[in-house]
Structure 1
Amino acid sequence: MTTIDTDQRIRDRLQELAGEIERWTDQEGIQPTKIPSLTLIRNSEVTNAVHMIYEPAICLVAQGRKQVLLGQESYEYGPLDYFLVSVDLPISGQVIDADHEHPYLAVRLDLDPAQILQMVQETELQAAASPAKRALCVSRTDLGLTDAMLRLVRLLETPDHIDVLAPLLIREILYRIWQDQQGDILRQLAVTGSNTSRVAGVIKQIKQHYDQPLRIEELAAAASMSSSSLHRYFKEVTGMSPLQYQKQVRLQEARRLLLSEAADAAEVGYRVGYESPSQFSREYARLFGLPPISDIKRLRECPVVI
């Protein structure tokens, strides 16, 4: 079978997947399903950039295109691509190709590292240690992965079968990514003591204590690394330093608090770990484009759904 024939079969599956997403989505944005780790995404117009902590997941686009920024790195993906993240990463994302006749339609499957480890243990897959890699990639999908994702979404038609069949289909999806050229991103999470798994542990610590001073020596010791090694591997995996990562977490939490509570900017800045209101306002504006009060006013007037 030629590459052209295979691509056409993938496009046919994606067209079917787009139909299923439209069938199960009745509003804009991210919509949960009866499969807990599966969400469907629909946007009928181009969106502004939205900042978020993106947890481990695979996203397969059936229609439209999206752009994601990780620090200074830009990633763009659409049909025939999948987007993979293996550790929690602070990113911004926006839909760049969508309209009411051809909305952006995508499937997101959250990934549980425990499922990856279980698959490795039960199937005796090999996961050799290798250099740390960026925990985010855009890769070309294949027919097997696209078909497995389509079958998972179609399982929504028979909810009584979800408990038995969904875990099998999710395992198939994980296996197909594992075998892909970008599968090393998953494989490193399954290697005990790998630099990627150690960085994942440090990320967990930073997120849990984001409002506290960052003590690199303590984080490095807990990860069984030197401070210089932690800096190097953390940046290789996340694209930023531990301090830059903490800053992103702090500012995104501050934005959430300002949107959900009647608190002033200075108070929120203190709550997320800033000692200086001016520094908080300056760094907030650098990330989100406007100072806290102006940014929250803009969001309340023009809420973004993505």
Structure 2
Amino acid sequence: MTILALDELRALIERHASSDAKPIRGMPGLMFGFEHGPTPPCELVVEPVFSLVAQGAKRVEVGKQTFEYRTGQFLIVSVDLPVDAYVVEATPDKPCLGFGIKLRPEAISSLLLESGAPRTFGDDRPGIAISDLSSDLVSSVVRLLSLLDRPSDIPVLAASLEREILWRLINGPQGAIVRQIGLADSRMSQVGRAVRWLREHLAETIRVEELAEIAGMSATSLHRHFRVITSMTPIQYQKQLRLQAARARLRATRVDVAEVGFAVGYDSPSQFSREYRRMYGKPPGQDGAELRTASSTVGVSRHGS
């Protein structure tokens, strides 16, 4: 990767990562990151995405695993994952600059069909990975982002440049992970069906056998593949989803702690408080108050990938 190409990428991100950015017609799924300093952890569920850092460094925590990627590196997420994400390296003079694009299964599947790529799944792989950017990949991203300076070109060229980026990823060091996103019968896709059910039925209780039926595999197989791909068991995954949703509610407004626990699926207020404290280090009431105070003093930061 040339320094010139990375400089051009930085300039494009900095120019277009404004706080008032809106969805771009003809270029859905683009995300920009621009932070002038390190940020506190942000709890979110990351959907399949390709995310790069052109300057600075970011960290993502999934379960008990930590992934850090910095200038000249990219992150691939292949299945919906509840994470803690934050910027760890940024200054006013050298802000953290990032860019991301959602990985759409239908777009990947179309490329696999057209290219005649073999339908091999290989061994189970974690649903998140980090690699170095190649010159070809940076060049493809630069040409895609350059369309933002020429909006009239977007309807004609955007789709083909997105396909080019996907093609570079499919044939890159994390190609095995990316390919599985586009294969409906891959283990990744089967686990993805279970994950989506858990997200859409956050407060509901379900037996692993029932979740396995939704995924289309045996309970034993689901438990094994789910853990490899998400680094969590289905129960741990659901618990993290619930606690993230609870924390978001507590951050947004002053509400009754027990009410929040019931809303995300806890029958026992004491169990909710106990698991919340184990996850975030503080009781939910105290944590919510501190989060609301911090949000009011910091204000709204720029959106990011």
For normalisation by structure 1, the TM-score amounts to: 0.91
1:223 pairs, out of 189, 192, 215, with 215
Summarize the alignment of residues 54-69 of structure 1 with structure 2, pairs less than 5 Å apart: 54-69=46-61
CA 1:133–1:31 in 2, change beyond 3 Å: closer, same or farther?
farther
Summarize the alignment of residues 234-273 of structure 1 with structure 2, pairs less than 5 Å apart: 234-273=226-265
Task: Give the match's secondary structure for 1:170.
Answer: helix
Q: Is the 8 A contact 2:251 2:289 kept in 1?
A: no
After TM superposition, the structure 1 stretch with the greater mean CA deviation from structure 2, 214-223 or 204-213, is 214-223
Matched, 1:124 2:153: no
Task: Give the match's secondary structure for 1:53.
Answer: strand
CA 1:57–1:31 in 2, change beyond 3 Å: closer, same or farther?
farther
Matched, 1:178 2:170: yes
Structure with higher RCO (Cα < 8 A, 6+ apart) = 2
Give the partner amino acid of 1:155.
Answer: L
Task: Give the match's secondary structure for 1:180.
Answer: coil
Equivalent-residue separation in structure 1 for 2:21 and 2:124 (angstroms):
33
| Distance apart, 1:262 and its partner CA | 4.8
Task: Give the match's secondary structure for 1:302.
Answer: helix
1:286 pairs, out of 278, 287, 293, with 278
Off by >3 Å, runs of 4+ in structure 1: 30-33, 259-262
Give the partner amino acid of 1:85.
Answer: V
Q: Which residue of 2 aligns with 1:295?
A: 287
1:211 pairs, out of 203, 215, 230, with 203
1:41 pairs, out of 14, 29, 33, with 33
| Distance apart, 1:246 and its partner CA | 0.4
| Distance apart, 1:140 and its partner CA | 1.1
After TM superposition, the structure 1 stretch with the greater mean CA deviation from structure 2, 142-151 or 261-270, is 261-270
Give the partner amino acid of 1:71.
Answer: G
Q: Which residue of 2 aligns with 1:191?
A: 183
CA 1:247–1:31 in 2, change beyond 3 Å: closer, same or farther?
farther
Q: Is the 8 A contact 1:46 1:94 kept in 2?
A: yes
Matched, 1:70 2:62: yes
Structure 1: runs of 5 or more not aligned: 1-6
Task: Give the match's secondary structure for 1:240.
Answer: coil
Q: Deviations over 1:203-222 (max 9, x none)?
A: 11111112111211111123
For normalisation by structure 2, the TM-score amounts to: 0.92
Equivalent-residue separation in structure 1 for 2:29 and 2:183 (angstroms):
24
Equivalent-residue separation in structure 1 for 2:97 and 2:173 (angstroms):
25
Equivalent-residue separation in structure 2 for 1:126 and 1:160 (angstroms):
37
Q: Which residue of 2 aligns with 1:154?
A: 146
Task: Give the match's secondary structure for 2:125.
Answer: coil
Percentage of identical aligned residues: 38
CA 1:190–1:33 in 2, change beyond 3 Å: closer, same or farther?
closer
